[in-house]
Structure formats: C-alpha cells, structure tokens
Amino acid sequence: MGFKLISFDYFRLKKIKLILNKVNAQASSMARLTDEELRQKTIEFRERYLSGESLDSLLPEAFAVAREADKRVLGMYPYDEQVMGAIVLHQGNVAEMKTGEGKTLVATMALYLNAISGKGAILVTNNSYLARRDGEEMCPLYQFLGLSTAIGLSEDPSQTLTVDEKKQIYNSDVIYTTNSALGFDYLIDNLADAPEKKFLRDFNYCIIDEADAVLLDAAQMPLVISGAPRVQSNLYKICDNFVYTLVDETYYHLDIEKQEVWLTQKGIDEAIKFFAMEHLYVSDDNHRELIRHITLALRAHKLYTKNKDYVIESGEVKLIDKREGRILEMTKMQAGQHQALEAKEGLETSQEMRAIASITYQNLFFLFENYGGMTGTGKSDEDEFIEIYDKEVIQIPTHNKLRRKDLPDRIFTTLPEKIYASIELVKELHGKGQPVLLVTGSVKMSEVYSEILLFEGIPHNILNAQSESKEARIIAEAGREGSVTVATMMAGRGTDIKLTAESKKLGGLAVVITERMESKRMDLQIRGRSGRQGDPGFSQFFVSLEDDLLTEWGRTSLQDYYKKQVTHRNVTNPEELLSTYFQNSVEQAQHASDAYGRNSRKDTLQFDDSLKLQRQIVYSERNRILSNESSQYDLREIIVSFVDETLQKYGKQISQKDLLDIILTNISYDFDNSFFKQEDYTISEARQLILELVDKQLDEKDSLLTTDKQKESFKRIVLLKAIDECWIEEVDYLQQLRVLVSSRRAAQRNPVFEYHKEALKAFDNMLSDIKLFVVRNTLLSDVTIEKGEKMNIYFA
C-alpha cells in the first residue's frame, strides 16, 4: 500500500514536469518581448480562447508570459517548483508547498491563465489582512498584463460595500478576497429583491490559499446570515436547571467522537418528573421546543468547556478559534447554542436571531467551475480532500533541500515536569544565541510560559491575540540571534520567519512545541516554521500525560499509569518516558482526535445536503424571476389552483361561514352582505363565487398597473416576497431541526436520515405556503402609483 502511494505520486509529478518543460521552452522567446508586446499577449490569448482554444493548450505560453512579467514587475522569477505548483492549481488539485516556498507568487500564474477566459479568477484566503496584503502586492502584475483587479473587502471593516462597488469588484478579472467575504456575498446576492441589486457573476475559477484551513477547519461551521430577532424563549434557564439534576451518565449518553449527547430513558423519566408532564415525545409538537432546549442545555454542559472552547469576557461568551488560538469576535454559535451556554454560565441571555440564509464552505466552493488549493500541509488529509472535494494533494518538492531536523517527542508524566524540561531546553538554546519559537496550545499556557521566562530573566516577545499587523513585526524579529518568541498556534498566518546570517550559523530556528495539537496537520504547520528555503533548524515536541490531547483522546491505560506515578514525582528532576509504548500512545490519541474532526465535517456536509438541494431550487427560481422571466408565471393560474386545492378539503359542500372565512383571509374584503344568498354552497357554486371576486380584484389591479413594466414588476415583487418569506422560515426551521434530531439518538434512529425526512416534509409545506402567500400578496395588497411612475405596494 505504501509503495503504491509513493509510486502514484511519482507519476503524478512526472506528468506535471512534462508540462513544466513546455513552459520552460517558451521562456526565452517571452524574455525577448518588450513590455508592450508582453501585454499584447493577453489580448492574443483572449482571442484564441474565444475562437475555441482551451486554457490547457494556452497554459505553456500563458505561464511563460506571467513568469516573465513576475520578473519585470515584482522582481521575482518563479522557480521551476513554483511553476509546478501553479500547474497543480490550474488542474484543480491541492498543491502542498512548504512555508516560505513562495505560494503567493505561485498563484499569479494560475490566476492569470484562468482570467484569460474573461469569467474571473478569485484568490481566497482565510484572513483579511493577508488577502489585502497579497492583493496589493500582486495586483500591479495583472494590471501590467492588461487585466483588471480588485480586492473584495471593504477598506474600513465597519463599512459595508455598496452594490455598485461589489459589482465592480466581481466584474474584475482577478480578485483577492477572504472565504467569509465571498460566502456572505453569495448569500447576500441571493437575497436581492430586484435585478439591479445582484452583483455576482457565475463562479468560475478560484484558488484557496491555506486550503486546509478553509476547506477542512472552517468547514465545520456553516456560514449564517442572521435576520430579525426571535421571540425570546424563557426555556434556557429552566432547562439549564434541569440538566444540573442529571448527576451521572446513567441519565444521558455522551458520544465524544460524534460530539453528541442525548437523554437515556432514565433521563427522559427524570425530565417528565421535572417538567410535570405526562410524557415527552418528539412527535408531539408541543414538546419539540422543550426537547430542543433540553438538548441545547445538555450540549452546553457536556460538550463545551470554559476556557477551552470559549471564554467569558466582559460578561459575554466568546468563542475561541482553536487553530489560531484567538478569540472569534462577532461570532456566535447558532440555533440557540450560544444562549444555552450563557444560561450555563449564569449570564444574561442574549437576543437569539433568526437565520435567514446559510451555506457551508464545502457547498460554496462546489459552485465553482474549477478550483485549486495550496497549503503547507495537506498530504496528511489527502483522503478527506479526495472523498469530499475530489481533489488530490500533490507534494511539490522544495526549491532547496529541507535541512530541518524533526526530533522525536519528549514525554513526561506530569505537566510541571514537562514545563521544567522545556524551559531548560529554551535556556540552553538562548544561552547559545539560537533563535527560539516556543509554541503553546492555549493562550493561557503562553502566559504561563511567558511568566516563567520573565522569572528566568529571558527577554521574549509574546504572540497570541494581538493585532495581525503587529504580529508581522514580531515575526520579523523572530529570526534574529538571541530572540525568543512565545506563540500560540499560528497556522495560516502566512508570516514566515526569516533568519539572519548569524542565526543560520547558530543552527537556525529552534521550534519548541509544548504540546501535541489536536490534529497532525497543525503539528506539521508549526514544525514548518523552521527550515524554510533550505534553512537549518530543528523542531521538538514536549508532551505530558496531563495534556488535554491525552486525557481526552488517549488510552485509559495511560491514565492508570499516570495515577500510579503521579504522587511521588520530583519536578526538578523530571523523568522522561522513553519506551515506544508512550510514543505510540501519543500518535494514537492524535489519531482519535483527528478522526473526530473528520466525522464532524462529514456530518456538517451530510446535514447540509437537504438544504443544498432546496437552496438550489429556490435560488434558481429566484434568479429566473429576477431576470424577468417571471412572464412564465400566471398569477391567475396560481390563484385558481389554490382555490381548487382549498375547496377540495370540504368534500361536496361548504357552509357560508367557512366560505366567508376563506374569502376574508385570502381573497377580498371588498363585497357586501348581499353577496351571500345561501346557507350552504356546493363546491362548484363556491368556486364560481370566489373566482368572481378574484377576477374583480385582478381587474382592479390591472386598471391601476397601466404599463407592461408596472405589471411585470408587480408580479415580480409579489412572487419574490412570497418565496423569501417562506424560504427564510425554512432555513431557520432546518437549523433548529438539526438540534432536534440529535435528541432522537435515544430511539436508535439515524439523525441524518430523520433530518432529511423532516426536511423534505418541511419543503413540501413551504411550497404550499408560497402559493398561499402569492395569492394573498396579489389579491389583498393595495397598489398606488405616484406621478404615473413610482409604484407602492402595501401588503396586508
């Protein structure tokens, strides 16, 4: 198996090298061109593309042009390895290139080639500072080659971009932006209520920088746009109180790997007692809200830990981005989970908002015609890239040979022993003047280390939740001789540590990492801070049996060992655990933790399947209406079918009272008492009466809406309003449904299956609601026309 994989990679690279040779063959002829002639090439490529030549066939020349322009404009000529990376990006796979190999430059070739189509090429990264910085640095290159460019972010984050500004951005050839800006723009674009408010083109080509951060880590939580506040529920506090009564695991079942928790039968009995009810069935609509809130409270207590998953800051629950070790501002857990945490922490419950639009990153990127990714570490997750995204991860060789040494882990029984030993190493290295990057797993530990270093009299910089631009300065200093930098997880920050000549002589950057992270990939990312572009250096992990990774995911035998040992340990003389048993145990714990991450991403995607399907249908219907294809809808036809369906429920006869009810709620207020002459009506009589009123209403509208344009736009508004109102309800309902189905594990049911079943039912209900809203919006609305032009519609 191992052999097969290696040979597979070998052939993949070989094919890429064949294309590289073709690019190299063009180099000298492009070098001879004047600037103006180079620019002309873009026009030539566009013409050739329009007359049918494929981008693949244009690649060798286009890459050679971009490469030559890189040299002239940016002063950097892409190495062969960088060209290979760009080929992978164009082929829609993930290029793994180590830190410092120059991925920013790699992207220029693939973006240039794909922008030739005129359909736009987007570079996406997960950090707005980097998106802007890279965009500003690289855009002169595309402009030199005659392409238009844009940065897809507002310069002042407190100000949103106008529709016109967005139109200009998304019509550019090359765009630098972030995944969240792009995702929100997609959702916002699909909330537009008039054609002129839409600003996006179809998604064509995109490169995802730090692809693992975006496609794996960020993909665990869907993007959500919140709308109006929800009626505040008083169930949070009382359900929180209830959860306190569940004293042990006989009342609930906890599945750490799936991150789910649900009541056992004993727990359900307890709930029935606590809430003084006769039973507690999910199928009973009256109980749904209660069950949902109990589930939220259970999750808050059993799945989320204070100071690890979230912190309390000025009376608010704030989430922690574990990967980057920083607080996620402005981000709240969805569907009431945040409020349940607030209840658990005894804080005031914040306003719960309705979700009005939502998408996962997976499904966002599936919308692109083609997209590639680049990252320093992706190979360890290639299976997932293949399974979910259908993307191979191709390891590009480094330009210079990697000289960093990755030493085996040093493992200790207790946390203090580990800290003591790691500090000893830092002292030793600092004594020699070798620069040290000391990485901790949490903000809190970075502070602990900082204090010990102060105590030891070792000057150092500390990098945790500070501003990103300040980070860049600290990173710039981190490669000097004698410097010590304490940092939390710093993946994806794109700031690489450059060494001075003196520190290279001293052995390069030493990366001392004080715990194994929850995923292998993160470990590799931290290691990769050292040894860039053939620099010397080494990396060393310190682990203790008390680390979160091992207590949460490790074997129980490790904890037994720990318990036996822990009482008589001498901290100042730490004993290292050298046997391979411990080394393997660390690997195994990390493996378990990685598996959890993978499962939860798969879950997110599986749950999003229903929403995806419904979103596609609704969005494409909206787009048809917006692009003035609403002429295919006949409002009267919709109304007649609604009337027929409504009357069907009454069998053969309908009473005057019921008929009046139907008319008043849906059709018209505009009739007098003499209109009804009988006590009971046959269905066909009733139908005739209703349609008489319908036609009267429609005629009235028709006489007001004199021009075709007015008629069209009335129809468009009526339809969109109906769709939007119902769709927003649906998105919000589906979000809540997710929490609800997880409580059904108790009944041994498959939550994903249950979810899809309920979602389909909800979709059908939505369709009939839309019809109902169209009828009411058409018939019960009032229209006025101002000065023969501006139309106002007042909905009932």
Chain residues that interact with ligand ADP, rule: CB under 6 A: 76-79, 82, 97, 99-105, 494, 496
Nearer to ligand ADP, 103 or 716 (CB): 103
CB 654 within 8 A of CB 680: yes
- Known binding-site positions for ATP: 82, 100-104, 496
Residue 74: burial class (beta carbons within 10 Å; 0-12, 13-18, 19+) = middle
Whose CA is closest to 55, among 121, 143, 102? 121
User: At closest approach, how far in Å is the CB of 589 from ligand ADP?
Assistant: 29
Nearer to ligand ADP, 189 or 496 (CB): 496
Dist CA 341 CA 303 (whole Å): 10
Nearer to ligand ADP, 94 or 626 (CB): 94
CB 547 within 8 A of CB 413: no
Q: Give the total residue count for the chain.
A: 796
User: At closest approach, how far in Å is the CB of 100 from ligand ADP?
Assistant: 5
CB 736 within 8 A of CB 336: yes
Nearer to ligand ADP, 105 or 343 (CB): 105
Residues whose CB falls within 8 Å of the CB of residue 305, separated by 6 or more in sequence, listed in order: none
462 backbone dihedrals φ, ψ, rounded to 5°? -125, 130
User: At closest approach, how far in Å is the CB of 181 from ligand ADP?
Assistant: 20
Nearer to ligand ADP, 222 or 494 (CB): 494
User: At closest approach, how far in Å is the CB of 485 from ligand ADP?
Assistant: 17
Nearer to ligand ADP, 480 or 757 (CB): 480
User: At closest approach, how far in Å is the CB of 149 from ligand ADP?
Assistant: 18
- Known binding-site positions: 82, 100-104, 496
Dist CA 605 CA 597 (whole Å): 13
Nearer to ligand ADP, 99 or 630 (CB): 99
CB 330 within 8 A of CB 315: no
Dist CA 296 CA 318 (whole Å): 17
Q: Which two tokens stand for residue 50?
A: 């329009």
User: At closest approach, how far in Å is the CB of 715 from ligand ADP?
Assistant: 52
Dist CA 395 CA 529 (whole Å): 17
Nearer to ligand ADP, 373 or 751 (CB): 373
Residues whose CB falls within 8 Å of the CB of residue 642, separated by 6 or more in sequence, listed in order: 666, 771, 772, 774, 775
User: At closest approach, how far in Å is the CB of 544 from ligand ADP?
Assistant: 31
Q: Which residue has the tokens 């009299």?
A: 457
User: At closest approach, how far in Å is the CB of 235 from ligand ADP?
Assistant: 48
Residues whose CB falls within 8 Å of the CB of residue 407, separated by 6 or more in sequence, listed in order: 538, 539, 540
Nearer to ligand ADP, 103 or 460 (CB): 103
User: At closest approach, how far in Å is the CB of 491 from ligand ADP?
Assistant: 12
Half-sphere exposure of 516 (CA within 13 A, CB side): 32
* 746: amino acid identity, one letter: A
96 backbone dihedrals φ, ψ, rounded to 5°? -95, 115
How far, CA to CA in Å, does 581 sit from each of 558, 577, 595? Answer: 10, 9, 21
* 52: amino acid identity, one letter: G
